[in-house]
Structure 1
Amino acid sequence: MIVSFSVTPLGVGESVGEYVADAVRVVRESGLPNRTDAMFTSVEGGWDEVMDVVRRAVDVVAARAPRVSLVLKADVRAGVADGLTSKVETIERHLDAGS
């Protein structure tokens, strides 16, 4: 499965980059395939391991913020490996074919 999620600390002021970096650090240290962009972090793996990483990412932010917002989207598809790369490659192939 692939989960894309965003963790936002609330009640800590306007600048939240330091808190978000703590959450991303949890994801990167998990060893699971992952990517971070300007809005979301995506992580790929089995249900239990991915949800554990999301929970730990929320927990690390919650340890420093009075409230945490979590936005999560999941692609649950059995038998697919390396979806973080293969899904993007498929789109790029279609874009190249249309040029």
Structure 2
Amino acid sequence: MLVAFSVTPIGIGDEVGDVVAEAVRVVRESGLPNRTDAMFTTVEGEWDEVMAVVKKAVEAVAERAPRVSLSLKADVRPGVTGAITAKVEHIERVLKQP
């Protein structure tokens, strides 16, 4: 499955990047395929392992913020792997066509 999620600390002011980085650190240390952009972090794996990483990322932010907002979108496709790169590669191939 692919899970795109965003963890936002609330109640710590406008500068949240250092706290959000802790959530990204959790994802990267998980060893699961992942990608972070300006809005979301996407992680790929089996249901239980992905959800455990999301929970741990939320907990890391909650250690430094009194409230945490979580946005999550999932693509559940059992047996599919490599989707985190394959989807983007497909779009790039299409865009290169005349």
TM-score normalised by the chain length of structure 2: 0.97
Give percent identity, aligned residues only. Answer: 70
Shift of 1:14: 0.3
Asked whether 1:41 is paired with 2:41, we answer yes
Structure 1 consecutive aligned stretches of length 4 or more whose deviation exceeds 6 Å: none
**Which structure 2 residues correspond to residues 18-97 of structure 1 after superposition, within 5 A?**
18-97=18-97
SS of the residue aligned with 2:73?
strand
Shift of 1:78: 1.4
Shift of 1:27: 0.2
Structure 1 unaligned residues grouped into runs of 5+: none
Query: Would you say how many aligned residue pairs link Structure 1 and Structure 2?
Result: 98
SS of the residue aligned with 1:48?
helix
Shift of 1:93: 1.3
Structure 2 unaligned residues grouped into runs of 5+: none
Q: Distance in 2 between matches of 1:91 and 1:78?
A: 22
Q: Distance in 2 between matches of 1:50 and 1:78?
A: 13
What is the root-mean-square deviation in Å for CA atoms of aligned residues? 0.6
